[in-house]
Amino acid sequence: MKKTLGILLLLILTCVVTALSSDAFLNGANVENLIRRIGLYGLLGVAVSFVIVTGGIDLSIGSIVCLTGCGLPWLVAKVGWDPALALPLLLGGAVVIGLIHGLLVTKLKLQPFVVTLCGLLVYRGMMRGLTGDQSLGFGNGFKALRFAGAGKLELAGGFGIPMPFVILMVVAVLAAVFFNKTVWGRHLRALGNNEEAARFSGVATDRLVIASYVICSLLSAVAGMLFVMDVNSAQPSDFGSFYELYAIAAAVLGGCSLRGGRAAVAGVLVGAALMQVLRNMIVLVFPRQQNLEYAVIGLVILAGVIADELINRRRERRRLRA
């Protein structure tokens, strides 16, 4: 909780600084767009925290975003399938991918890094091959379908919350409840800390790990579709590339430990928000330094992780002295 508080302060600070330095920050369209992006990237952050809590990692997230983000407009706009057929097919595909990742990690005991690194290459490569690497979009059609990504939940007084953010809130609440209140969540945290002890206690460790990879792939697939519904244009060669890193960074900033065993959904949301506000700040406040975006984000994450480690160490030392 303390950890979330620290990063929340950093988020607020970034918002205040940006608002003071640029009038455009609090502009309605900018805020709306920012919230939409937080919704989209937040979803990926929540997705990867399921795998991170088991002590694993999923590097294929960006490629799954590409797979469904390009796959959806390709199937419905190019190939001419009904969305009612395309959606379940793509989501089903994601489940199969998660299943394969999970099985390879648990049954063959391959390292998650290696398995999902191969996934990263395979899924994007497949999509580029299938679509002929051409630019894809919905054109002017499919308004109803695109509502989930581009629409807003209209509230009284002309305000509206972008749909991806609404979806993120629902998913985040479900995930938080899952981690903290259910037997599976408790088992997952136990196995993330000490898989052997969990197995010795009769926890179905393999099944839980497999389920985590499935949930991660599935949520990434959903996010990929929402992304393309929003921007209406996807290039298989770069759509979603590096998104796994945004997701992992959000999770780590938010307090998930890559060693496993710790899940902090609220923190992940704040972490995802922080990164999007930072990007927004660079665009608005330092428009001429936009090319430094990655460098700035990278340094902020590094600073956050270093600060966290130092705080932890001090706490540990105090604990050992006690």
Partner 1 sequence: MRLLEASGIGKRYSGVRALGGVDLTLERGEVLALIGENGAGKSTLMKILAGVQEADEGEIRIDGKPVRFRSVADAMDAGIALIHQELNLAPNLDAASNIFLGREPRKFGLIDETRMRREAAGFLEMAGLAMDPAAGLEGLSTGKLQQVEIAKALSVDARILIMDEPTSSLSQAETEVLFGVIRSLKSRGVAVIYISHRLGEVTELADRVSVLRDGANAGELARGEVDRERMIRLMVGRDLSEFYPGHAGVPGEVLLEVEKLRTSYWPDHEVSFRVRAGEVVGVAGLVGAGRSELLRCLFGIDRPLAGVIRVRGVEFEPENPRRAIAAGLALVPEDRKTQGLVLEMGVPDNLALASLWRDRRRGGWVNEAAVDELERRMGEAMRIKAAPGQAVGLLSGGNQQKVAFGKWLAMEPAVLLLDEPTRGVDVGAKREIHTLMAGLAERGKAVLFVSSDLEEVLGMADRVLVMHEGRLAGELDRGEASEESVMRLATGTKDFEAA
- Distance between CA 254 and CA 219 in Å, rounded? 18
For the chain, how long is the longest CA-to-CA vector? 68
Minimum Å gap between C-beta 207 and partner 1 is 10
Are 54 and 260 within 8 A, CB to CB? Answer: yes
Size of the site for partner 1 (CB under 8 A): 26
Q: List Cβ neighbours of 138 (8 Å cut-off, separation of 6 or more).
A: 73, 76, 77, 145, 146, 228, 229, 232
Q: Which residue in the set 113, 159, 200, 242 belongs to the binding site for partner 1 (CB under 8 A)?
A: 200
Select the span of 27-35, 115-123, 176-184, 274-282 touching partner 1 (CB under 8 A).
Answer: 176-184
| Least distance from partner 1 to the Cβ atom of residue 252, Å | 17
Identify which of residues 193 and 237 has a Cβ nearer to partner 1 in the complex.
Answer: 193
Instruction: Retrieve residue 218's tokens.
Output: 């599935």
Binding letters toward partner 1, positions 242-281, x by CB under 8 A: -------------------x--------------------
The verdict on 182 binding partner 1 (CB under 8 A) reads yes
Minimum distance of partner 1 from residue 139's CB (angstroms) = 44
Candidate list 30, 33, 193, 235; residue touching partner 1; CB under 8 A: 193
DSSP notation for 99-156 = HHHHHHHHTS---HHHHHHHHHHHHHHHHHHHHTT--B--TT--HHHHHHHH-EEE-G
Q: Using the rule CB under 8 A, is 158 a contact of partner 1?
A: no
Q: With contact defined as beta carbons under 8 Å apart, do 239 and 254 qualify?
A: no
Query: For residues 53 and 272, which CB has a smaller minimum distance to partner 1 in the complex?
Result: 53
Task: Return residues touching partner 1 (CB under 8 A).
Answer: 181-187, 189-190, 193-194, 196-204, 261, 318-322
